[in-house]
Amino acid sequence: MTQFNWDDLQRELTRWHSDGLQATFWWRDDDVTADSAELRQLLGLADRAAVPLALAVIPALVDNELVQVLDRFPNVTVLQHGYRHQSHSPAGEKKAEFGEHRNSAELLADLTAGRDLLRAKFGDRFVPVLVPPWNRYTPKLVPLLQQAGLVGLSAMWARTIHGDAPLQVNTHIDPVAWREDRDFAGLSLVLEQLICHLKLRREFEKYRDEPTGLLTHHLDHTPAVWDFCAQLIERLSASEQVRWVSSREIWLNRPKAAS
């Protein structure tokens, strides 16, 4: 099995540079509801590195204190992490809040209620993009997003929607070994995720403009996961081939395609 290390990442970034391309990255953290020591650690990491951070906030569970905590962090935006982060799947099936077992009216009601809550609490900090809990959704959700005033969708792995209404920008790097011990998934495996997405973008134009996304879960990080995140962010930020983009730039202030 091929092992990946930091040199492989640098080699891939050098290929981007040789092709005259700049590798864009973005950062999403999930399951945000309230202030905590872990949230402060996350915000501190983003702030020190001057990297934009998108928090996927669960609308129905937001603690009001969170609004004040974020005041000091202008680089932090809020996305909509479902409505209540509650699974409606039958027992024994994979968890999903926006899965196929609910009808369109139920899905739309949750979308609009969540959007209203986040807009009222976070104002302009809220970028109207749905992050479906467990990164799962039924295809019938997609046309409902626009009806609910949402401009985008963010799940996991390579995008499946290639138009821009809604614009799908996923995450592609997950440092947590969820199905094992929930500790760090290992440098080689996580760098493989990262390098594979960069390579996909470099080789296939239809994937190119989707920034490569780091997914974190601040409440679930072990020290090894925090260490990796800090190191990754530091290394990427130090690279001339890399540019971090905010969720505002991705979904609201999209540069027009060159004509």
The alpha helices in the chain, defined as continuous H runs, are 6-18, 37-49, 65-70, 104-122, 142-147, 187-203, 205-208, 223-238, 247-251
Rounded Cα gap, residues 243 and 50, in angstroms: 12
Task: Tell me whether residue 171 or residue 212 sits nearer to Zn ion (CB atom).
Answer: 171
From residue 186, how far is each of 135, 174, 229, 233 by CA, in Å? 22, 10, 12, 16
Closest distance between Zn ion and the C-beta of residue 75, in Å?
22
Q: According to the binding rule CB under 5 A, does residue 110 interact with Zn ion?
A: no
Q: According to the binding rule CB under 5 A, does residue 31 interact with Zn ion?
A: yes
Q: Is 216 helix (H, G, I), strand (E, B) or coil?
A: strand
Give the binding-site size for Zn ion (rule: CB under 5 A).
3
Rounded Cα gap, residues 252 and 236, in angstroms: 24
Rounded Cα gap, residues 200 and 251, in angstroms: 21
Closest distance between Zn ion and the C-beta of residue 82, in Å?
7
**β partners of residue 16:** none
Task: Tell me whether residue 31 or residue 110 sits nearer to Zn ion (CB atom).
Answer: 31
x/- contact string, 66-105, with Zn ion (CB under 5 A)? ----------------------------------------
Which of 12, 30, 110, 192 is in the footprint of Zn ion by CB under 5 A?
A: 30
Closest distance between Zn ion and the C-beta of residue 188, in Å?
26
Task: Tell me whether residue 118 or residue 191 sits nearer to Zn ion (CB atom).
Answer: 118
Which of 52, 114, 128, 133 is in the footprint of Zn ion by CB under 5 A?
A: 133
Closest distance between Zn ion and the C-beta of residue 16, in Å?
31
Closest distance between Zn ion and the C-beta of residue 81, in Å?
6
Residue 15 sits at the vertex; the CA angle it makes with 13 and 16, to the nearest 5 degrees, is 65
Rounded Cα gap, residues 218 and 31, in angstroms: 8
Q: According to the binding rule CB under 5 A, does residue 29 interact with Zn ion?
A: no
Task: Tell me whether residue 31 or residue 249 sits nearer to Zn ion (CB atom).
Answer: 31
Closest distance between Zn ion and the C-beta of residue 213, in Å?
15
Closest distance between Zn ion and the C-beta of residue 99, in Å?
14
Q: Which two tokens stand for residue 92?
A: 């024994």
| Radius of gyration, alpha carbons of the chain | 18
Task: Tell me whether residue 4 or residue 26 sits nearer to Zn ion (CB atom).
Answer: 26
Is 235:9 a contact under the CB 8 Å cutoff? yes
Which range in 10-18, 28-36, 135-143, 224-232 contacts Zn ion by CB under 5 A?
28-36
Rounded Cα gap, residues 250 and 230, in angstroms: 23
Q: By the criterion CB under 5 A, which residues form the site for Zn ion?
A: 30-31, 133
